[in-house]
Amino acid sequence: MSNKLTIVVCLILVLIGDSFAYRPPKPTRLTQLDVETQVVQLNESLESLWNVVDGRYNLDIVTTNPDGNTKGDVGDMLLFNNSGTYYFAINTTGAKIWRSVVLTDTP
- Give 93's strand partners: none
- pLDDT of 22 higher than 80: no
Is the pTM value of this prediction over 0.85?
no
- pLDDT of 104 higher than 70: yes
Q: What is the mean pLDDT of the chain?
A: 79
Rounded-to-integer distance, Cα 25 and Cα 13, Å: 14
Highest mean pLDDT (candidates 25-34, 51-60, 83-92): 83-92
Q: Rounded to the nearest 5°, which phi and psi values hold at 89?
A: -115, 140
Q: What is the DSSP letter of 26?
A: P
**DSSP class per residue in 36-81:** HHHHHHHHHHHHHHHHHHTT----EEESS--TTT----TT-EEEEE
pLDDT single digits (tens) 46-81: 887 777 676 666 778 899 999 888 888 888 888 999
Ranges 15-29, 31-45, 76-90, 92-106: which has the least confidence: 15-29
Top-confidence residue, 23 or 89: 89
Amino acid at the residue 65:
N
Rounded-to-integer distance, Cα 13 and Cα 6, Å: 11
Q: Are 44 and 25 in contact (CB under 8 A)?
A: no
Rounded-to-integer distance, Cα 57 and Cα 47, Å: 11
Q: For position 19, what pLDDT does the model report?
A: 45
